[in-house]
């Protein structure tokens, strides 16, 4: 019973929050035009879903985000390995460049991309990919840098070349760090996706928001906001499940295991 209550404990404030929202709005404690009741927002989501629009918007938005994320991951992970110093000279040369480029605001890049490529899918995907790439680069580099030196030395003593070292030793060791970066980037991809869609798109969840701002249909705006938040939470959950399956090993010592060992010894 206690375990069950512990799990539920987190949900209670959320439910209380929703109840307060609903009652405050219905009782006109906050202006009804500015904060519609939660039930109205749910109704709006339902209508959008029924008319088929919601699925289209979600699909276009998700396609952009996932594509940009994959592109960012494919480019960033090797770049992170490079930054961590497989080739020492290259690392020294690249490090200041990456320091500078990582600070470039994706919005600045967005306008530059519009200049070069015009307003279309590539522009949006490039800005989202840019925003996602840097956390992955830095977490990969830090993960590779912190690989246990003994592992590298033993591998070298067995005579591996650089490529084998990277794939068989560095990559599995650095995978937890890489995944931390990937999780962060997944969140950023949804984040930047909405921004890119708000500034130059004709469909998608971000476009839904900016379009309804002109119409003052605040219920639809709230509906889109709720859907986007929900999407972000689902993506986070999926990434954590993926992490658990791909990384069954833990680098940290398991305290429980140690205690269990002592217990068996009868200490």
What residues make contact with another protein under the rule CB under 8 A?
9-14, 17, 34, 88-89, 92-97, 100, 103-105, 107-108, 111-112, 114-116, 145, 149, 187, 190-191, 194-195, 198-199, 205-206, 209-210, 212-214, 216, 218, 221-222, 224-225, 228-229, 232-233, 236
Assigned token pair, 11: 């949900």
Which residues have a Cβ under 8 Å from the Cβ of 158 and sit 6 or more positions away?
none
Which of 41/175 has CB closer to another protein? 41
For the CB of residue 110, give the shortest distance to another protein in the complex, in Å.
8
Q: How far apart are CA 26 and CA 35, in angstroms?
A: 10
Which of 4/262 has CB closer to another protein? 4
Which of 33/267 has CB closer to another protein? 33
Which residue's entry shows tokens 């209380």? 16
Which of 39/105 has CB closer to another protein? 105
For the CB of residue 55, give the shortest distance to another protein in the complex, in Å.
19
Orientation of helix 106-117 relative to helix 171-199, angle to 10°: 70
For the CB of residue 132, give the shortest distance to another protein in the complex, in Å.
14
For the CB of residue 66, give the shortest distance to another protein in the complex, in Å.
17
Q: How many CB atoms lie within 10 A of CB 24?
A: 15
For the CB of residue 86, give the shortest distance to another protein in the complex, in Å.
13
Q: How far apart are CA 206 and CA 91, in angstroms?
A: 39
CA distances to 111, 113, 266 from 261, in Å: 60, 59, 9
For the CB of residue 226, give the shortest distance to another protein in the complex, in Å.
9
DSSP code per residue over 71-128 = HHHHHHHHHHHHHHTSSHHHHHHHHHHHHHHHTS-HHHHHHHHHHHH-SSHHHHHHHH
Which of 162/261 has CB closer to another protein? 162
Q: How far apart are CA 128 and CA 125, in angstroms?
A: 5
CA distances to 66, 119, 247 from 243, in Å: 17, 35, 6
For the CB of residue 114, give the shortest distance to another protein in the complex, in Å.
6
Q: How far apart are CA 75 and CA 133, in angstroms?
A: 8
For the CB of residue 229, give the shortest distance to another protein in the complex, in Å.
5
Which of 96/248 has CB closer to another protein? 96
Q: How far apart are CA 42 and CA 36, in angstroms?
A: 10
Orientation of helix 11-26 relative to helix 2-9, angle to 10°: 50
Which of 36/77 has CB closer to another protein? 36
Which of 104/238 has CB closer to another protein? 104
């Amino acid at each position: 019973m206690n375990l069950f209550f512990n799990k539920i404990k987190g949900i209670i404030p959320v439910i209380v929050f929703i109840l307060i929202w609903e009652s405050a709005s219905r009782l006109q404690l906050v202006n009804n035009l500015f904060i519609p009741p939660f039930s109205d927002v749910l109704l709006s989501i339902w209508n959008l879903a029924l008319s088929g629009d919601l699925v289209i918007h979600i699909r276009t938005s998700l396609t952009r985000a996932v594509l940009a994320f994959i592109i960012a991951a494919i480019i960033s992970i090797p770049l992170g390995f490079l930054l961590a110093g497989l080739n020492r000279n290259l690392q020294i040369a690249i490090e200041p460049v990456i320091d500078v480029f990582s600070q470039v605001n994706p919005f600045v890049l967005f306008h530059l991309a519009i200049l070069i490529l015009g307003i279309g899918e590539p522009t949006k995907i490039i800005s989202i990919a840019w925003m996602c790439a840097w956390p992955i680069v830095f977490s990969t580099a830090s993960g590779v840098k912190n690989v246990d030196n003994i592992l590298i030395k033993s591998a070298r003593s067995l005579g591996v070349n650089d490529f084998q070292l990277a794939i068989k030793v560095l990559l599995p060791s650095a995978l937890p760090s890489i995944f931390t970066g990937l999780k962060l980037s997944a969140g950023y991809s949804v984040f930047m996706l909405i921004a890119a869609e708000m500034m130059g798109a004709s469909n998608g969840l971000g476009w839904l928001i900016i379009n309804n701002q002109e119409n003052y249909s605040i219920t639809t705006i709230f509906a889109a906001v709720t859907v986007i938040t929900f999407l972000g939470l689902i993506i986070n959950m999926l990434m954590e499940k993926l992490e658990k399956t791909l990384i069954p090993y833990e680098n940290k010592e398991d305290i429980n295991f140690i205690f269990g060992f002592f217990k068996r010894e009868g200490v």
